[in-house]
Amino acid sequence: MSALRKLDALDDIIHQKVRLGVMSSLMASGEADFNFLKQALSVSDGNLSTHLTVLEEHGYVSVRKEFVGKKPRTTYSPTPLGRKAFEQYIEALEELVQASRRG
């Protein structure tokens, strides 16, 4: 029964699918810009913006804005807090999965 309590350990900020995709991508690459994430995740500008804002407001990603020539570019990176939250999420998930396999 205790394994099921791991559900509480599944961080709701990360569990949402678009945000899970963003965090996985940023963990893999170290950083990624808005357009890369948009294409990779096949989501709309508005949807991606909404979820990036949630991650930023919770301190899980940091944002860098710059110009490449005359084009603005916005780049996202996981913060140390975001990295830790992601690792804890994965650990909780793995415990849940292992529990499901003990049957």
CB 75 within 8 A of CB 32: yes
Which residues 13-32 are close enough to bind its own copies by CB under 8 A?
Answer: 15, 17-18, 20-21, 23-25, 27-30
For residue 45, state whether it binds its own copies (rule: CB under 8 A).
no
Residue number with CB closer to its own copies (69 or 103) = 103
Name the minimum Å distance from CB 53 to its own copies: 19
H, E, C per residue of 32-56: EEHHHHHHHHCCCHHHHHHHHHHHH
Q: Kindly state the smallest distance separating residue 66's Cβ from its own copies, in Å.
A: 22
* Contacts for 87 with CB less than 8 Å, ≥ 6 apart: none
DSSP structure string for 61-100: EEEEEEEETTEEEEEEEE-HHHHHHHHHHHHHHHHHHHHH
Is 62 one of the binding residues for its own copies (CB under 8 A)?
no
Which spans of this chain sit near its own copies (rule: CB under 8 A)? 1, 3-5, 7-8, 10, 12, 15, 17-18, 20-21, 23-25, 27-30, 39-42, 86, 90, 93, 96-97, 99-103
